[in-house]
């Protein structure tokens, strides 16, 4: 199952598509793949390339 959840490889922040990242202009329901290329981890500032697909916990 693809949960659509991605985890930051640096700080383990979890991106959940259902929640999005409203504080940074990402609407709830936005898949990780559709985040802008300049989106970075809201917690540590890591670029998207540091994220990896993860299962819910």
Judged by the rule CB under 5 A, the positions of this chain that interact with Zn ion are 8, 10-11, 13, 41, 43-44, 46
Q: Closest distance between Zn ion and the C-beta of residue 15, in Å? A: 9
Measured from the CB atom, the residue of 8 and 26 that comes closer to Zn ion is 8
Nearest partner of 11 among 57, 52, 56, judged by Cα = 52
Residue reference for tokens 């922040």 = 13
Q: Please, are residues 1 and 53 in contact by the beta-carbon 8 Å criterion?
A: no
For the beta carbon of residue 24, count every other beta carbon within 10 angstroms: 12
Q: Closest distance between Zn ion and the C-beta of residue 32, in Å? A: 13
Q: Closest distance between Zn ion and the C-beta of residue 51, in Å? A: 8
């Amino acid at each position: 199952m693809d949960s659509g959840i991605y985890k930051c490889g640096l700080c383990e922040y979890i991106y959940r598509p259902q929640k999005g990242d409203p504080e940074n202009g990402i609407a709830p329901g936005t898949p990780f793949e559709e985040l802008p290329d300049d989106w970075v981890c809201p917690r540590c500032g890591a670029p998207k390339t540091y994220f990896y697909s993860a299962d819910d916990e």
